[in-house]
Homo-oligomer: A and B are copies of this chain.
Amino acid sequence: MNKGNNNVSESTINRLPRYRRYLKELEQQGITKVSSNELGEQLGYTPSQVRQDLNRFGAFGRQGYGYSIKTLHENIDEILGLNQKYKMIVVGAGNLGQAISRYAYYQDKSFEVSALFDTNTALVGTEAGTLPIYALDDVSDYIRENNIDIGIICIPKEPAQAVADIIIDAGIKAIWNFAPTDLNVPENFPIKNVHLSDSLQTLTYQMKI
């Protein structure tokens, strides 16, 4: 099979985690192969959409057999960059920061949070689960010394841009942003925003119609 290339469309990429989630469930049930019809039915896509998505990154089902779940899962992991480990820190050790630090860890062994940072002196020096909470002043040194890959921002919107600037300057490679604001980052710098209130507002739209 081909390796994943950079020509996969963004909408296909956004669907891959869902495929992956379902494939993991099938694997846990001991199932080894799946057809595009089954995948489509379960995920709400048409079989031709499924074949098109998977063909794009070089996974070709065999007629009358379907896809090998193991190979498909491995291919998707490779495309998404999940066949390696990522070191992460969380800035903001409030409820959300603590929740995300545990969530990231439990969801997938590719992701390891090693510390949280906060300006709140009541939190600094304590632990979140088994993770240390350090002073925000130390975040740049920590990123440099520990080669941290991903910074998770779980603070209010006002200080979020300043924190983003600091951690990018310290060499962080990507930002996962939960602050309710759109951060300015260098062009092509990897960033994903989780704007929870945006999601809630489109839910209320659905309730109206």
- Give the interface of A toward B (CB within 8 A): 6, 13-14, 16-18, 20-21, 43, 79-82, 86, 94-96, 98-100, 102-104, 107-108, 110-111, 149-150, 173-174, 176, 180-182, 190-192, 194-209
- Whole-angstrom distance between the Cβ of A100 and the nearest chain B Cβ: 7
Q: How far is the CA of A108 from the CA of B204 in the complex (A)?
A: 13
Residues of B within 8 A of A86 (CB): 204
Q: Does B200 contact A192, Cβ atoms closer than 8 Å? A: yes
- Whole-angstrom distance between the Cβ of A40 and the nearest chain B Cβ: 14
Chain copies in complex:
2
- Whole-angstrom distance between the Cβ of A75 and the nearest chain B Cβ: 13
Residues of B within 8 A of A191 (CB): 203, 206
Q: How far is the CA of A82 from the CA of B206 in the complex (A)?
A: 12
Given the known interface contacts A20-B201, A192-B199, A200-B192, the answer about A107 and B206 at a Cβ–Cβ threshold of 8 Å is no
Q: How far is the CA of A142 from the CA of B62 in the complex (A)?
A: 52
Q: Which of B21, B100, B198, B208 contacts A81 (CB 8 A)?
A: B208
* 7 pairs, A vs B, C-beta closer than 8 Å: A17-B197, A80-B205, A81-B207, A81-B208, A110-B204, A149-B207, A176-B200
Given the known interface contacts A18-B182, A95-B95, A95-B102, the answer about A82 and B174 at a Cβ–Cβ threshold of 8 Å is no
Q: Does B182 contact A203, Cβ atoms closer than 8 Å? A: no
Q: Does B80 contact A180, Cβ atoms closer than 8 Å? A: no
Q: Does A107 contact B17, Cβ atoms closer than 8 Å? A: no
Q: How far is the CA of A91 from the CA of B26 in the complex (A)?
A: 27
Residues of B within 8 A of A200 (CB): 104, 107-108, 111, 176, 192
Q: Which of A17, A98, A150 has the most CB of B within 10 A?
A: A17
Q: Which of B80, B149, B201, B209 contacts A17 (CB 8 A)?
A: B201
Which 9 pairs of residues, A with B, have the shortest CB-CB distance? A95-B99, A17-B198, A190-B206, A96-B99, A81-B204, A192-B203, A81-B208, A107-B197, A17-B201
Residues of B within 8 A of A100 (CB): 96, 196
